[in-house]
C-alpha cells in the first residue's frame, strides 16, 4: 500500500510536471529564435567570427521571448482589456528589439566591424538599411517562434515526434485513458449570460484548467462546445493516478479563481467528469485539415459514463475497468454504484464515484 511519502512524491511530480512543460516550451522557443537569428545572419553576410557571440546573446533574448509568450502575454490577455494587453505586448516586443539592437552593436564592436552585417562592395550601405533590417530579422524570428508555440500547444512534444516519424500514417493500436470534462448547467448559464459573456466564460475556464492538465501530463484531445476531452497513454494516466488527480487539480484551479469568476460573471463554473480506459485505434486523417483521431468503443463509453453524473448525483465517475487498472489509491475514496445501462451499450457497466479522500496530500 502506498505510503504518505509516495503520495507526497506524486504531488511533487505533478508540481514539477506543470513547470517542466512551461520550461520545455520556453527552451524550444529560445532555441528556435537563435536558429532563425543565425540563419538570417548568414544571409545578411554577418562575419563568421560573430556567429558564436550572436548565439550567446541571442539565446537569453529567445528565452525572454519564450517567457513572454508562454507566461506573461496569456496572463495579460486574461486579466486586462484586449487593447491594453495588446499595447503591453507591443511594449514587451519593443524592449526585446532594443535589447537585440544593442547586442548587435556590442558584437560589432567586439569583432571590429562598423556594422554587424556588411553588404557586397557594389551595394551602398545606407544607414537606414541597418535600422530596417534588424526589425525584419526580429519580426521573422518572432513569427517562427509563435508558429512553433502554436504547434506545441496543439499537441504534446511526444506526439509531435511520433508524427514527424510518420507513425500515424497507418492506423496504430494503443492503450489510452480518457477523461471527459463537461460544464454543468451550461444551457441556462448561456441564456443568462448571453453568447459573448458565455463564450468568455468558457474561454477562461479552459485557460484556467490547462495547468492542471499539464501537471498531470495529460493531452487535450479536443474541445467540444463546453466540454474538454483529455487523454493519456495508459501507463502515464495510471502513474500516480494522473487521470484522477487531473479532475481534482482542475477543481482547485477554479476554486482559486472563485472571486474573479464572481466579479466577471456572477457565477463560478462547476463541472462533472467521466473516465475510462482501453484500446483505441489512432490514425492521422484528413487532407486539407489533418488531425490525429482516436477510434474505438472506449471514447463512446467514456462519454456515456460522464453523462450518468447527473442521474447518479456524482461529479466524477469512472468505470470498474479503470478502477481495477489503478490499483490501491489511498488518496481517493471509491464508492461502488453497481451496474448501469449506458446508452448504446448492450450490457451493464460497473461505475464508481470518486472523491478525494486525503485533500491535504
Q: Of 107, 123, 154, which closes a domain?
A: 154
Residues 303, 212 within the same domain: yes
Residues 78, 212 within the same domain: no
> Does residue 228 form part of some domain?
yes
Report helix, strand and coil shares of the chain as percent, to nearest 5.
60, 20, 20
Q: Of 154, 189, 206, which closes a domain?
A: 154
pLDDT of 99 above 60: yes
Residues 312, 199 within the same domain: yes
pLDDT of 361 above 50: no
Residue 247 domain boundaries: 157-356
Question: What pLDDT does residue 199 have?
Answer: 92
User: How many domains would you assign to the chain?
Assistant: 2
Residues 221, 124 within the same domain: no
CATH of the domain at 191: 3.30.70.1230
Three-class HEC string of 34-67: HHHHHHHHHHCCCCHHHHHHHHHHHHHHHHHHHH
Residue 224: closest CA among 314, 318, 310, 303 = 303
305 neighbors 341 (Cβ within 8 angstroms): no
> Does residue 304 form part of some domain?
yes
Residues 150, 162 within the same domain: no
Question: What pLDDT does residue 276 have?
Answer: 96
Confidence band of 18 (pLDDT split at 50, 70, 90): low
Question: What pLDDT does residue 360 have?
Answer: 44
> Does residue 232 form part of some domain?
yes
Q: Please state, in angstroms and rounded to a whole number, the distance separating the CA atoms of residues 117 and 203.
A: 45
pLDDT of 311 above 70: yes
> Does residue 361 form part of some domain?
no
Confidence band of 319 (pLDDT split at 50, 70, 90): very high
Q: Which of 14-18, 86-90, 147-151 has the lowest mean pLDDT?
A: 14-18
Alpha helices of 112-194 — where are they, by DSSP H?
A: 127-154, 157-164, 186-193
* Higher per-residue confidence, 179 vs 27: 179
Residues 126, 162 within the same domain: no
Residues 240, 146 within the same domain: no
- Strands 316-319, 271-285: pairing is parallel
Q: Please state, in angstroms and rounded to a whole number, the distance separating the CA atoms of residues 33 and 27.
A: 10
Question: What pLDDT does residue 229 have?
Answer: 96
91 neighbors 76 (Cβ within 8 angstroms): no
Question: What pLDDT does residue 42 have?
Answer: 78
Mean local confidence (pLDDT), 306-333: 91
Q: Which of 83-87, 245-249, 263-267, 292-296 has the lowest mean pLDDT?
A: 83-87
> Does residue 103 form part of some domain?
yes
Residues 142, 204 within the same domain: no
Question: What pLDDT does residue 317 have?
Answer: 96
Residues 189, 270 within the same domain: yes
- What one-character DSSP code corresponds to residue 342? P
What phi and psi, each to the nearest 5 degrees, are found at residue 18?
Answer: -65, -45
pLDDT of 39 above 70: yes
Question: What pLDDT does residue 101 have?
Answer: 83
Question: What pLDDT does residue 17 have?
Answer: 63
Residues 203, 344 within the same domain: yes
Residue 181: closest CA among 230, 218, 251, 217 = 230
Summarised one tens digit per residue, pLDDT across range 209-241 is: 988 998 898 999 999 888 999 999 999 999 889
Residues 136, 165 within the same domain: no
> Does residue 215 form part of some domain?
yes
* Higher per-residue confidence, 180 vs 45: 180
Summarised one tens digit per residue, pLDDT across range 112-146 is: 776 666 554 434 445 556 567 778 778 887 887 77
Residues 188, 313 within the same domain: yes
Q: Of 110, 132, 154, which closes a domain?
A: 154
Amino acid at each position: 500500500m502506498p505510503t504518505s511519502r509516495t503520495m507526497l512524491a506524486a504531488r511533487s511530480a505533478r508540481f514539477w510536471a506543470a513547470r517542466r512543460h512551461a520550461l520545455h516550451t520556453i527552451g524550444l522557443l529560445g532555441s528556435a529564435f537563435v536558429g532563425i537569428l543565425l540563419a538570417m545572419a548568414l544571409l545578411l553576410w554577418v562575419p563568421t567570427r560573430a556567429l558564436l557571440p550572436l548565439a550567446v546573446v541571442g539565446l537569453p533574448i529567445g528565452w525572454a521571448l519564450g517567457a513572454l509568450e508562454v507566461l506573461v502575454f496569456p496572463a495579460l490577455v486574461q486579466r486586462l482589456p484586449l487593447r491594453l494587453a495588446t499595447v503591453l505586448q507591443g511594449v514587451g516586443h519593443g524592449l526585446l528589439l532594443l535589447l537585440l539592437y544593442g547586442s548587435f552593436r556590442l558584437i560589432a564592436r567586439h569583432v571590429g566591424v562598423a556594422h554587424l552585417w556588411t553588404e557586397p562592395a557594389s551595394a551602398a550601405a545606407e544607414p537606414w538599411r541597418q535600422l530596417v533590417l534588424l526589425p525584419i530579422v526580429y519580426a521573422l524570428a518572432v513569427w517562427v517562434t509563435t508558429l512553433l508555440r502554436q504547434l506545441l500547444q496543439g499537441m504534446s512534444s511526444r506526439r509531435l515526434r511520433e508524427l514527424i516519424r510518420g507513425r500515424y500514417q497507418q492506423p496504430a493500436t494503443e492503450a489510452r485513458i480518457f477523461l471527459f470534462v463537461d460544464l454543468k448547467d451550461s444551457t441556462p448559464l448561456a441564456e443568462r449570460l448571453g453568447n459573448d459573456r458565455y463564450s468568455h466564460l468558457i474561454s477562461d475556464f479552459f485557460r484556467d484548467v490547462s495547468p492542471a492538465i499539464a501537471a498531470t501530463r495529460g493531452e487535450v484531445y479536443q474541445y467540444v462546445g463546453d466540454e474538454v476531452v483529455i487523454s493519456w497513454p495508459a501507463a502515464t494516466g495510471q502513474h500516480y493516478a494522473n487521470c484522477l488527480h487531473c479532475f481534482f487539480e482542475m477543481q482547485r484551479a477554479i476554486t482559486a479563481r472563485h472571486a474573479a469568476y464572481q466579479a466577471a460573471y456572477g457565477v463560478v463554473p462547476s463541472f462533472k467528469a467521466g473516465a475510462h480506459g482501453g484500446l483505441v485505434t489512432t490514425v492521422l486523417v484528413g487532407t486539407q485539415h489533418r488531425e490525429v483521431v482516436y477510434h474505438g468503443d472506449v471514447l463512446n463509453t467514456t462519454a456515456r459514463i460522464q453523462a450518468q453524473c447527473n442521474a447518479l448525483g456524482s461529479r466524477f465517475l469512472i468505470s470498474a475497468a479503470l478502477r481495477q487498472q489503478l490499483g490501491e489509491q489511498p488518496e481517493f475514496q471509491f464508492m461502488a454504484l453497481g451496474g448501469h445501462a449506458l446508452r448504446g451499450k448492450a450490457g451493464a457497466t460497473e461505475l464508481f464515484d470518486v472523491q478525494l479522500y486525503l485533500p491535504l496530500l
